[in-house]
Amino acid sequence: MAHNKHNSTFGSKIGVIAATVGSAVGLGNVWRFPSLAQENGGAAFLLIYMLSMLLMGIPLMLAETSIGRAGRSDTIGVFKQLTPGSRWWVVGIIGIVASYIILSYYMVVAGWTLEYIYQSATGWIFEGTTNTASDSLIYQQKMSQMIATGWNPIIWTYVVIVINLLILLKGVQKGIEKMSNIMMPMLFVILLVFVGVAMTLPNAKEGLEFFLKPDFGKIDIDVIMAALGQAFFSMSLGMGILVTYSSYYPSDTKLIGTSFTVTGLNFLVAFMMGLIIFPAVMSFDVVVNPDSLSGTTLVFVTLPEVFNQMGMPRFWAVLFFALLFLAAVTSTISIAEVSIAFVRDRFGTSRRTACLVILIPIFITSAICSLSLGSVDWLKIAGMTVFDFLDSFTTNVLLPISAFCICIYVGWVLHKRFLTDELTNHGSFKSHLAPFMAFLIKWVCPVLIAAIFVSYIASLL
């Protein structure tokens, strides 16, 4: 017999914030943001990214959290609760499929961060380097070796899956909430340490100037699209996470306040990463070629070069990859929870069964993603490795479609009073922002999401 609603909730306001921030703060903030800022004019990109979060990120987050908390069910169940008999629950399926695919390759990336912690601690990562220009080639080879060779990456991926399983089996309060309450403060402490160190580097000022002094001449349609896309991905929109997590919110949670807090902290992580990376890169002059600043290269090649030129390179490298690991795990937990909630609520299973049903197949799908970068790289879909295809298809096709449909659903399908009721907790307090947010969800967000989608399609042609 399938259940419809569940009664799991987060136990505290801090838990609500920590878990939601944990779900949003992922590798998108930590490595995608600095490389995009580098390519798109530093501070100019930063400003448009802020605007994108305010005009699209927060309203979209409110659209998802309002239906999640009102429906108190999984990503499919909320639509069945709020509009019984309609076909809108299909939108929930898109979110579940997208999040499950993302989980398959995100576990692999989380595995890389663990392997790098280990290899930094042993010092292997720095072996054979000379602190000269030829080093980046050595780090590049080491990265290829770690990511693509043999069973090693798969073993580390499996360690990450087991860690996820152990946390998720403990449930919403004792597992997800407790883990978020420990890991998120740790993440901010490590970030602060690195910001402090970066500020003392020899050419920190030049790095900060690039990052904080806007060059408005750089702003064009490509920069705007990149910022919109980054706001979209870095806030985990469209994959059912916010719908699922908000179904665990206590009923008195103030959705607007929570969404501003979460967005602000999410932005802070990306901003602090910029404060760390630009001074470091400028000080040691390690990036000769701006093309090498793709996210993965930046994190796994450029930064080890920087650490090697600082005192105690092993310590800094271990600390940095621990930061990445924290960001990765709080994200994988939230992505997995989307499917776990679905199995529990639709099929009425125990939490333990749901966790096993969802995570055991990931041992196979993540291994395929990992091998597609190494021994099985001949297996191509649309000219891309399996890993790259799944990444591109989910982030550029499934997530925008899902988020677009949720905007239309909340803005046009549900009762006019629905959003205002949810945002004011059924009139228990006044909100001057509620009508503005309703306007953005109804008119602005669908246009911006459609623009992201169209620009992606245009880039393929």
Give 35-91 pLDDT, tens digit per residue: 889 888 889 999 999 999 999 999 999 999 999 999 999 999 999 999 999 999 999
For residue 349, the model assigns a pLDDT of 96
* Alpha carbon distance 380, 389 (integer Å): 8
Classify each residue of 269-278 as buried b or exposed e, where b means 16 or more C-beta atoms within 10 Å of its C-beta: bbbbbbbbbb
pLDDT bracket for residue 281 (50, 70, 90): confident
Q: Residue 234: name the closest of 185, 295, 182, 168 by CA.
A: 295
Given a cut of 90, whether residue 24 has pLDDT beyond it is: yes
Burial class of residue 202 (count of CB atoms within 10 Å of its CB; 0-12, 13-18, 19+): exposed
Tokens 């160190």 belong to 197
Please write the tens of the pLDDT for every residue from 201-242.
988 999 999 899 988 888 999 899 999 999 998 999 999 999
Token output for 237: 């929109």
Q: Where are the alpha helices (DSSP H) in 285-380?
A: 295-297, 303-308, 313-347, 351-371
How many CB atoms neighbour CB 459 within 10 A?
Answer: 10
Structural domains of the chain ordered from first start: 13-460 (1.20.1740)
What distance in Å separates the CA atoms of residue 83 and residue 80, rounded to the nearest whole number?
A: 5
Residue 157: pLDDT over 60: yes
pLDDT in the model for residue 286: 65
Confidence of residue 2 (pLDDT cuts 50, 70, 90): low
Nearest to residue 338, comparing CAs of 222, 439, 246, 213?
246
Q: Mean pLDDT highest for which of 281-290, 300-309, 424-433?
A: 424-433
pLDDT tens-digit map of 333-386:
999 999 999 999 999 999 999 999 999 999 999 999 999 998 888 999 999 999
Closest CA to 258 of 415, 403, 58: 58
Give the closest residue to 260 by CA, choosing from 421, 448, 433, 408: 433
Q: How many whole angstroms separate alpha carbon 60 and alpha carbon 72?
A: 18
What was the pLDDT predicted at 299? 85
Give the pLDDT of residue 418. 97
Mean pLDDT for all residues in the chain: 92
Using the predicted structure, report yes or no on whether residue 1 has a pLDDT greater than 50. no
User: Which of the four pLDDT bands, split at 50, 70 and 90, describes residue 135?
Assistant: confident
The model's confidence at residue 287, banded by pLDDT at 50, 70 and 90, is: low
Around 230, how many Cα atoms within 13 Å sit in the side-chain half-sphere? 31
